[in-house]
Structure 1
Amino acid sequence: MPLKLYKRGKVWWFSGTVHGQAVRESARTEQKEVAEALRIKKEAELVSDAVFGPKATRTFAQAVDSYWKAGGDKRFTGTMYEDGTRDGLLDYFYDTKLKDIQQNDLDEASRKLYPNAQPETRNRQCYTPFVAVWNHAVLNGWADLRKWSRPKKAKGTNVVRIKKRRAGTFPVEYEHAAKFIAAMSPGPAMLMTTLFYTGMRPIELFALEAGEVNLAGRWITLTHTKTGEPRGIPIHKFLVPIFESLLKRNSLADDPRLFRTPRGEPYEVIVTDEEGKGGGGLKSAINGARRRSGIKDIAPYTGRHSVSTGLVVAGVHPYIKDQILGHVADDMSRHYTNVPQPPLIDAINKLPVPDEWRAMPWLADPLAWSGKLAEGTGRRTDLEMKRS
């Protein structure tokens, strides 16, 4: 039965059932000719799916659209503009069928989209978003799981590029981090503390919901991640009082996100520069702590780098470390995403907790302190009490 075109208000829609696949969706246009062309295209896709299967017919553009709708990170995947034009990876692979994309095609896209970029930049801005979209397509049954090679820095060169390291691109000692956290308001300090003892990406922690935290099992289950793959994260014993308190927040019924600004508002993702990526509302808190402490080398991503280095120093096996940080994406790792794993919990508990961190006054009642501000913040002096 062919799809039927009809109008609702000013916009055209099409619906019907083709080879057992029911469809009802908007053409998103007021022009009948355009809507008719979209109807025909959709009908052809459904027929192809029925005859050849989705793995033979799905395009990169369809995978990107589905990835976005599932909450995937839009940064670097490309943009679709209102006038129909597009850019980035989306434009490069647009109508290319997933089955036809090979390693050399991805390498060529990287060279053409970022001709003057260093390997690490091409890895971050081309390979990582592509693999995230691909893995989402795998979960949908549109593509086969595949190992994609990524660019590496050239070896054997005597050309040394000297440049200043940016905060957020390297680890710091936990004693050093404790001094910085002590200069923050309690709300942001709790969030930064959690970053330093989970290795989560800031964007993942901003979106963390109460239902994803299994405190009894010392386990966090993330369903939406940067890579598009679900993953499990062990909870360090030092974080237990923070989660216990924040899980009592009355407003979780209206918005399940755990971490809030001192104003009680959930953190929103704000894409800025490389080190501010996913900084969502932490910029002011970070700048304030830098001003008060004099420490300039800590940013939201510092926690993730510090966890990675801390686990290595503690002698944790590289495979366990990679599982904690979400670098392992094999079928077995995904299978146990929701299952608390004792080796990972034991490993995360090896991260050190300096005495100064344990002495933070807000640890006594994190939820009660979450709306207070650090001394020197405006006219508020909530943290002027002596820390004991």
Structure 2
Amino acid sequence: MSGKKFKTKFPGVRARKHPTRKHGVRFDECYFIRYRVDGKQIEEMYGWLSQKMTAEGAYQLLGELKDNSRRGVAPRTLKEMRELNRKAEEADKAQAISFEEYFDNHYLPEAKQRKKPKTIQTEKSHKRDWLAPVFGGKPMRDITGGDLQQVKDRLFAKERSPRTIQHSLAVFRLVWNHAKKRGFVRSECPTANINMPRVNNARSRFLTPTEASNLLEAVKALDERAWEITLAALYTGARLGELSTLTWAGVDLQGDSIRFIHTKTGKPRNIPVAAPLKSMLTNKPKGEPDDPVFTNRKGEPWKDAPWAFRQAVEDLGLNSGREDRRDKIVFHSLRHTSASMMLSAGVDIRSLQSLFGWSTLQMAGRYTHAIDEAKVSAVATLERILSEKHGKLLLLRSKNEA
């Protein structure tokens, strides 16, 4: 672009003609605005006549910028205005992104860095099978509670379990909150308007002392390493994940204590070491402080319940004839067994809450059967003692009773 700038009839607006390029029959013109900001003279290009920019338009914009400068608000320069417009366009574009696109290009790459492959696969299947077919590429910002109700209705129509419905909507909520933190959506997640189906997956069954003893023997006959973690689960009431992440740094045999750092609630928990557990740990080869205590035959921490445990349960017929999966013995049943036995022996709820890491006392509700059985046993014991001591127990009545 050549040629000198010249004044227009609008103060503060200058123009420059293009030497060759024409706009219609006249030479194209480029317009500039000149003004002061914070005592500094600024000149910025407004645009070309061929781009539908005019000297009058430049003058109107100049007035807006000067007014903003007097009031101390942005934008005060054309550069600031263009930057704000660019950000607004990016925000609008981000707001228009579809759920599927955000899931694949933003949520999934980050989630893969912190979640297990099995979890990622499950979330992908929920997106593919239940969420995406309803949304159909709709922008995330336009998804409503009505869309999520359709997802819920489709799952019900396909006779999926309440837990599956919860999981599908939970995946949507995870992705939505992920997007909100990054500015892709602004409103609250629409799952708040959906009534979630009630789910009762609580397992209440526990082993009797005889069943527990037989199970330990059967597991040990199949796999010594599997027996070690099974024994530890029974005597600590710890979850499989807590035992799998236990390192030798958390084992204090001199102090008869085990410290679980990686717990479900995120709060470290100390557990006293029972004699059988201490004997097993004492005879077990020690590792470095950061080495896992319980490993499989490959020397890796357990990720799932040991095969030997599941095989022993099957061999002993502990789940024979039981159709309800909540009534079947699984590895987590060892935790229920520990709690139930302690309650039956008279251990108070507060102590168990600390030992088992329950966030609330309501978590002990599933063990009320053990408390009831303990009460029955206590009354029977009282009856036996009194009968043995006095031979025949007489019921005394007051004089007023006939």
Give the TM-score of the pair, scaled to structure 1. 0.43
Give the TM-score of the pair, scaled to structure 2. 0.42
